[in-house]
C-alpha cells in the first residue's frame, strides 16, 4: 500500500495497472442512467477496484451514495484544477462523474490474493435439509421434485402427501408476507389447471397476518419451520462445510 499523488495522470496510471485505488476528498457526484442522482460537495471515499468497479461512499451509512459495477471506461481528468473522475457503464448506458473540490489523499494497493467466500444458511440449504428429511415438514409426505420449473418460476419442493394428494411447498428463510403467499398461489393456480386438488403449503419461520389471511382465503396452508431444529439436525454438515462452530448459530436461533 502506498500513498500516491492525487493527480489525474498518476491515478490513471494506477487504474491502468489494475491496482486498488482509494481516494478521499471533498467531492460532488453526478449519476445518470436508469435513474439519475446527484450529491453536493462533501467528504467522500472513492474506491476503484481491479475489475473497474467504482464505489463512492459518504461519511455515514452502509450503502454507497453512488456506484458503477461493470465499467467500460474509468478515467481521471482535471477541470479548472480540480480532480474529476468519470466512470461509464456500457449496458445499461450509465455515467458517473465525481468532482473533487479538494483531496485529502490517494492510496493505491496492488492486490495479491483474493480468497474464497462462502455463505451458509441460504434458502437452498433449508430446502435440501427438508428434502432429505420430509418428516420434518409433515408425516408421510414424499418429496418427488426439487426446484420444479413452472411458468414462470420454480416450485421449491414438490411431492405427494400420505393421502396421495400433490403438494407444492414454497420455502422462505425469513418471515413470510402476503407476497410470498401470492407467489405460492401463482404456482398452485398453474398446477390446478391440470391437477385438481393440489395442496399449497408455505414453509417459513413466521408469517404476517395478511399472509395468513391470504392463504386461508385461497385454500392454502402455512406451516412454521423451526430453524433451530433444522440446524440441530445438520450441525455436523454445517461444521464440516464452514469450519464454523454451529453452536453460536444455534444460540442465535434460540
Contacts with 196 (C-beta within 8 Å, 6 or more apart), sequence order: none
Nearer to its own copies, 80 or 139 (CB): 80
Residue located via cell numbers 418429496: 143
Instruction: Report the residue number, 139 or 209, with the smaller CB distance to DNA.
Output: 209
By CB under 8 A, the count of residues binding its own copies is: 77
- Distance in Å, CB of 38 to its own copies, minimum: 5
Q: Are 11 and 100 in contact (CB under 8 A)?
A: no
Pick from 16, 17, 69, 72 the residue near DNA by CB under 7 A.
Answer: 69
Q: Which of 100, 143, 157, 238 binds its own copies (CB under 8 A)?
A: 238
Could you give the CA distance from residue 6 to residue 69 in angstroms, rounded to a whole number?
Answer: 23
Residues 195, 144: Cα–Cα separation, whole Å: 16
What is 129-142 written as a DSSP string? HHHH-GGGTSTT-E
Asked if 84 interacts with its own copies (CB under 8 A), we say no
Among 10, 57, 165, 239, binds its own copies (CB under 8 A): 57
Beta bridge partners of 66: 56
42 binds, among DNA, its own copies, none (CB under 5 to 8 A by kind): its own copies
Q: Pick out residues in 183-222 that bind its own copies (CB under 8 A).
A: 183, 186, 208, 210
8 interacts with DNA by CB under 7 A: no
Specify whether the CB–CB gap between 98 and 48 falls below 8 A.
no
Alpha-carbon span 35 to 232, nearest angstrom: 46
CA distance 155 to 196: 17
Choose the stretch contacting DNA; rule: CB under 7 A; options: 33-41, 42-50, 76-84, 221-229.
Answer: 33-41
Of positions 40, 62, 113, 194, contacts DNA by CB under 7 A: 62
Our finding on whether 67 is near DNA (CB under 7 A) is: yes
Closer to its own copies by CB, 122 or 144: give it: 122
Cβ-contact 88, 95 below 8 angstroms: yes
- The interface region with its own copies, picked from 16-24, 73-81, 138-146, 161-169 by CB under 8 A, is 16-24
Binding status of residue 235 toward its own copies by CB under 8 A: no
β-pair type (94-109, 82-89): antiparallel
**Pair 235, 246: CB distance under 8 Å:** yes
23-52 residues near its own copies, rule: CB under 8 A: 24, 26, 28, 30, 32-45, 47, 49-51
Question: x/- site string to DNA, residues 139 to 168, per CB under 7 A?
Answer: --------x-x--xxx-x------------
> Applying CB under 7 A, does 71 fall inside the site for DNA?
no
Instruction: Kindly tell me the sign of the dihedral angle through the C-alpha atoms of 84, 54, 39, 105.
Output: negative
Amino acid at each position: 500500500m502506498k500513498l500516491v499523488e492525487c493527480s489525474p495522470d498518476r491515478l490513471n496510471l494506477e487504474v491502468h495497472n489494475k491496482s486498488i485505488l482509494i481516494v478521499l476528498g471533498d467531492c460532488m457526484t453526478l449519476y445518470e442512467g436508469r435513474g439519475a442522482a446527484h450529491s453536493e460537495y462533501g467528504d467522500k471515499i472513492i474506491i476503484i477496484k481491479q475489475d473497474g468497479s467504482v464505489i463512492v461512499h459518504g461519511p455515514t451509512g452502509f450503502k454507497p451514495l453512488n456506484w458503477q459495477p461493470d465499467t467500460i471506461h474509468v478515467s481521471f481528468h482535471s477541470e479548472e484544477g480540480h480532480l474529476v473522475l468519470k466512470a461509464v457503464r456500457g449496458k445499461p448506458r450509465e455515467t458517473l462523474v465525481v468532482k473533487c473540490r479538494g483531496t485529502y489523499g490517494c492510496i493505491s494497493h496492488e492486490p495479491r490474493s483474493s480468497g474464497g467466500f462462502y455463505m451458509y444458511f441460504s434458502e437452498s440449504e433449508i430446502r435440501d435439509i427438508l428434502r432429505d428429511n420430509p418428516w420434518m415438514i409433515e408425516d408421510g409426505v414424499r418429496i418427488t421434485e426439487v426446484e420444479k420449473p413452472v411458468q414462470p418460476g420454480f416450485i421449491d419442493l414438490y411431492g405427494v402427501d400420505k393421502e396421495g394428494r400433490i403438494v407444492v411447498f414454497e420455502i422462505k428463510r425469513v418471515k413470510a408476507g402476503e407476497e410470498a403467499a401470492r407467489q405460492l398461489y401463482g404456482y398452485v393456480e398453474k398446477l390446478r389447471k391440470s391437477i385438481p386438488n393440489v395442496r399449497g403449503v408455505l414453509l417459513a419461520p413466521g408469517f404476517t397476518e395478511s399472509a395468513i389471511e391470504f392463504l386461508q382465503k385461497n385454500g392454502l396452508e402455512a406451516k412454521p419451520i423451526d430453524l433451530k431444529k433444522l440446524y440441530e439436525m445438520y450441525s455436523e454438515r454445517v461444521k464440516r462445510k464452514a469450519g464454523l462452530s454451529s453452536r453460536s448459530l444455534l444460540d442465535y436461533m434460540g
